[in-house]
Amino acid sequence: QQKVQQSPESLTVSEGAMASLNCTFSDRSSDNFRWYRQHSGKGLEVLVSIFSDGEKEEGSFTAHLNRASLHVFLHIREPQPSDSALYLCAVRGGDTNAYKVIFGKGTHLHVLP
């Protein structure tokens, strides 16, 4: 069974400072990675999707995938207090999970003004 773990559980940064979130997965054959954001009491919104090794940028969000090391990172450039939310990593694919999406438990990001 695919395992998806996120770190840190909680991260506090000052407004404008780069925020970096980490997601590790267990199945190297996974082929579909997404980062979602969830504001308190709200649903999930997709931020960036990445399907091959390297980087993918969407606005102030950059995903970096390294399948060999089983990591996918999310970098948030110049975060604002409005970016304070729960960030979730979602991984799909792999030999035993060809279709299901597995979510990590999330990183709580707090951006201080």
Partner 1 sequence: EAAVTQSPRNKVAVTGGKVTLSCNQTNNHNNMYWYRQDTGHGLRLIHYSYGAGSTEKGDIPDGYKASRPSQENFSLILELATPSQTSVYFCASGDRTGGDAETLYFGSGTRLTVL
- Taking alpha carbons only, the member of 85, 10, 99 closest to residue 41 is 85
Q: How far is the CB of 65 from partner 1 (least distance, A)?
A: 14
**Residue closer to partner 1, measured from CB, 76 or 88:** 88
- Contact between 42 and partner 1 by CB under 8 A: the answer reads yes
Of 13-21, 30-38, 57-65, 69-77, which part binds partner 1 (CB under 8 A)?
30-38
d(CA 80, CA 76): 10
Number of residues that bind partner 1 (CB under 8 A): 22
What SS3 class is residue 91? strand
What is the length of the chain? 113
